[in-house]
Structure 1
């Protein structure tokens, strides 16, 4: 559990003083984490910036959620991990970036 400090803190404040701690919170409880299906990954690159996911961000991944059209997913595509938006239209499966600099990645018959 981590301490929750109810202060309005400007960026750059080094750490909350112990006498300002209001409560302790559990990220497991707040994020409804159901380990061992949940883990953190570090995101690299700028292809998901339009979704608010930036280089160096940590993403919470829950493998117990069935991926569906429109979800942001972390996938292993041909042994390379990627973070993209999943698009399923009929038989077409596409991994979409949230940055126009990056083209869509169509999943082809030989892809794993």
Structure 2
């Protein structure tokens, strides 16, 4: 499950993802993300990704996740904030995505702006 919201006043594009994501949900997410991102000037916005409630993904979905995170970087947001994942297994998976570690600031849930 996921939700996306753009706060034009604060210049924050917030995405909340939780639970276990299926391949169909991942495809719908990617389409929705592109639609939302195209409606704003990304370099003026902070992207806030709250995946704290996400469950571990199937191993074959990690390449798709890496590509999606790379698209966030390519869209050149002013800043990308990623809320720390609660699940130890999902957290371990996220650590293996090098593009995430190099381009995103990981924050605790208490630090959400």
Between Structure 1 and Structure 2, the one with more helix by share is 2
TM class by shorter chain equals under 0.3
TM-score, normalisation: structure 2: 0.22
- Structure with the bigger RCO (C-alpha within 8 Å, sep 6+) is 2
Higher CA-based Rg: 1
TM-score, normalisation: structure 1: 0.22
Between Structure 1 and Structure 2, the one with more strand by share is 1
